Amino acid sequence: MKIYNTLSRTKEEFVPIEPGKVRMYVCGPTVYNLIHIGNARPMIFFDSVRRYLEYKGYEVNYVSNFTDVDDKIIKAANAEGVDSSVISERYIEECKKDMAGMDVRPATTHPKATEEIGGMIKMIRQLIAEGHAYEVNGTVYFRVRSFKEYGKLSGKNLDELESGSRTLLVTGEDEKEDPMDFVLWKPKKEGEPFWRSPWGEGRPGWHIECSVMSKKYLGEEIDIHGGGEDLIFPHHENEIAQSEACSGHVFAHYWMHNAFLNINNVKMSKSLGNFLLVRDISKQYDLSVLRFFMLSAHYRSPLNFSPELMEAAKNGLDRIQTAMARLRDEAGKGIPGAESQQERAAREAFTYRFEEAMDDDFNTADAISVIFEMVKYANTLEPEKTTAEGWNALRQNLLKLADILGIREPEETILDADIEALIEERQAARKAKNYARADEIRKELADRGILLEDTKEGVKWKRK
């Protein structure tokens, strides 16, 4: 398995720190509003990375945080006249709903920044003690030039950054020793949440949060660190500096970054009015369509969102799920007997090519192409010419591979005629005093979303 490592700018063979285990950290959202489709891309992609690693037999410790203290959260809280925790908790819950809609599995741990302040204070104290940080009037800064490898992830040179565009600077307060030094701890302002620290009441800077949460839940060295490419500089660059200055070890062995998302070929932004929330998409499409759309392109390629492309994604997903439903519904019609050698060879060839795509830097676009070929093959099969075992093995194989991408078999539907037939059977069972069978039918229908009501006019039914 090869991963494109942003640090080395090459594809590298994946070798975990500990055989059979993967420690993976992905930067999560700042929870001041509903998540947008830009937030959704890393959530969906890294969820499939995790699923594939688990498919390959790895035990994955997957950590993705919630940034629940931030200027935007505080601004929203002040506007509503509530505590900032009210805003963050509200949008954490809304984020989880959207994640569930996109079939993004909960992380092993979803730490919150506000619950890890003690660890942040401890790391900052160590950085000060070792000369990597300093305090001025209640603000603590990281001394960037104390970390000789600063810039190794982004490829940015410190001297060029300092003399170049001011927009590249992390911050620019006059009290800093160097314009490139960044904030680890900031003093409180009126109306802001704060915590007590050796440098006075205040709150942590953004960058220190992920370093501390990653260390606590994954250890000083991790296998994979992921996020959007907009985080490479300064956020991930600063994480490396803090973490490695403290530990003396490599922080993350593989850095993975997904490319930007555009709307109708224009970069998404609030100022342009083309800002789309996941919740907006859910009003038009099942969020499984959004997931399928996101994975239809390689994660390192810019992705363009448009209504036409979403419709194409919906049609493609429908095609796959229709084939899944047919394989399920006609499973009992196959020829009795074991899977033939030809059937097994065809099935294994699809698996090999799917894994080949995913082993090459998690190429979900090529993996989806293999799924389509499986569907095309499945649609040519006839139950009366296919062994029952071969039919079921192909179905199970398709479900297993599709699940890595979050493509699910559609729920089994029950036709009105089938419902009426079961109700008649239930009535006959009751007349024969076979109450056990009558109860079985009621339960079977309930499990399939059909509620029965016995009335004076007879049995009435409705869908849940």
Is pLDDT at 167 greater than 70 in this prediction?
no
Grade residue 455 by pLDDT with cuts at 50, 70 and 90.
confident
Who's near 378: CB < 8 A, 6+ residues apart?
323, 326, 327, 394, 395, 398
Residues linked to residue 62 through DSSP beta bridges, in sequence order: 24
CA separation for the pair 166, 168 (Å, rounded): 5
Return the biggest CA–CA distance within the chain: 92
pTM of the model: 0.88
For 314-343, the pLDDT digits (tens) are: 999 999 999 999 999 888 888 999 999 999
pLDDT mean across residues, the chain: 93
Q: Which of 104-118, 213-227, 255-269, 440-454 has the lowest mean pLDDT?
A: 440-454
Indicate the pLDDT class of residue 161, thresholds 50, 70 and 90: confident
Phi, psi (rounded to 5 degrees) for 136: -140, 115
Kindly state the average pLDDT of the residues 235-261. Answer: 97
Instruction: Single out the residue of 126, 314, 112, 298 nearest to residue 306, CA to CA.
Output: 314
Taking only the tens place, the pLDDT of each residue in 83-104 is 999 999 999 999 999 999 999 9
**Residue 395 in this model has a pLDDT that exceeds 90:** yes
180 against 170, higher pLDDT: 180
Q: Are 101 and 65 in contact (CB under 8 A)?
A: no
- 251 and 238 Cβ atoms separated by less than 8 Å: no
Q: Is 20 left (phi over 0), alpha (psi -120 to 50) or beta?
A: left
CA torsion sign for 163, 169, 174, 176 is negative
Strand order in the sheet with 222-228: 59-64, 21-26, 222-228, 252-258
What are the angstrom distances between the C-alpha of 233 and each of 21, 150, 214? Answer: 28, 11, 18
